[in-house]
Amino acid sequence: MAGRILIIGACGQIGTELTLKLREIHGNDQVIASDIREGAQELMESGPFELLNATDEPHIREVIAKYEVKEVYLMAAMLSATGEKAPMKAWNLNMDSLFHILHLGKEGIIDKIFWPSSIAVFGPTTPKNDTPQITAMEPTTVYGISKQTGERWCEYFHRKFGVDVRSIRYPGIISYKTLPGGGTTDYAIEIFHEALKNSEYTSFLAKDAALPMMYMDDAIKATVDIMEAPAEKVKVRSSYNLSAISFTPEILAEEIKKHISDFKIYYDPDFRQSIAESWPSSIDDSAAREDWGWKHEFDLEKMTSTMLEGVEKTLK
């Protein structure tokens, strides 16, 4: 690979595991981690790290020049629940950071960009089941509006200026190594920690709130796969639908009970319930499967047993 990789937002839930995976593939010195704060020890010690604010364009340019970066993964974003508490901050972070990177692509300073979108681009007028790739999109959260707008800009920069930007609409991502921050789908991680610590959990979503979810290893595989795909196979330049598992808090609790028989779940839905209600329950990702061969590995059973084992290790 010519040129190095920069991950912006490397210390977040997805950024941490993505950085470690890319270091494994390309070599530790080839992958520069950056974030506004320091992160997990494994990430900090395995390769170069820069403290970097994703909205600070001059500093981003400086880091890119210093390491001769050619590929950027922009993982920094304010998610759906936190975004509702600080709408303008979320908008500014999510949009400014994207524009900085798209302009670097347009100027030919970097060759390839990964920018994640989300199921949050959909809204109450979107078909709820097997949501198609192209459909009604009227997001109701600031995060969703920023992701939908970002998708339009990605496609625009690709079409107008040939920028090689690639994107997937992540569902809720489930993992145990780094905690998520401020999402509506976070219950599906908290539940494992509470099940192992206290054998009970109070869900902030209602028992029948079905949402599309995915285990972290699948999300990382999808990210690596779309970035490694030949450019002509990446036909959608806004963002690809991506799907793996779909379940409700009640279904997940039943699966956990197979391992922890006295586990109890209670429900106390808060403002995040209305966000969940505006999102799809399941996603049609046939475009990603056809165009660049996407395939998930983790189903509900495998994800649940892997999470219980993984979280248990972190609690020791």
Which parts of this chain interact with ligand AKB (CB under 6 A)?
Answer: 79-80, 118-120, 143, 170, 172, 183-185
Shortest approach of ligand AKB to residue 122 CB, angstroms? Answer: 10
**97/54 Cα distance (integer angstroms):** 5
Residues 6+ apart with CB under 8 A from 113: 71, 72, 73, 74, 101, 102, 105, 163, 164, 165, 166
Looking at the Cβ atoms of 49 and 73, the one nearer to ligand AKB is 73
Assess whether 143 carries a catalytic annotation.
yes
**282/83 Cα distance (integer angstroms):** 23
Looking at the Cβ atoms of 158 and 169, the one nearer to ligand AKB is 169
**67/48 Cα distance (integer angstroms):** 10
Looking at the Cβ atoms of 17 and 64, the one nearer to ligand AKB is 17
Shortest approach of ligand AKB to residue 255 CB, angstroms? Answer: 20
**310/32 Cα distance (integer angstroms):** 26
Measure CA 229 to chain center.
19
**281/209 Cα distance (integer angstroms):** 8
Torsion 214-218-223-225 (CA) sign: negative
Shortest approach of ligand AKB to residue 134 CB, angstroms? Answer: 19
Shortest approach of ligand AKB to residue 24 CB, angstroms? Answer: 24
Looking at the Cβ atoms of 34 and 185, the one nearer to ligand AKB is 185
Q: Where do runs of H (alpha helix) occur along 162-282?
A: 187-198, 216-228, 249-257, 271-278
Tokens for 20? 């470690």
Shortest approach of ligand AKB to residue 173 CB, angstroms? Answer: 6
Bridge partners, 31 (sequence order): 5
* Candidates 67, 73, 143, 201; catalytic one: 143
Bridge partners, 186 (sequence order): none
Looking at the Cβ atoms of 46 and 82, the one nearer to ligand AKB is 82
**197/315 Cα distance (integer angstroms):** 8
**How many CB atoms are closer than 10 A to CB 158?**
22
Known catalytic residues are: 143
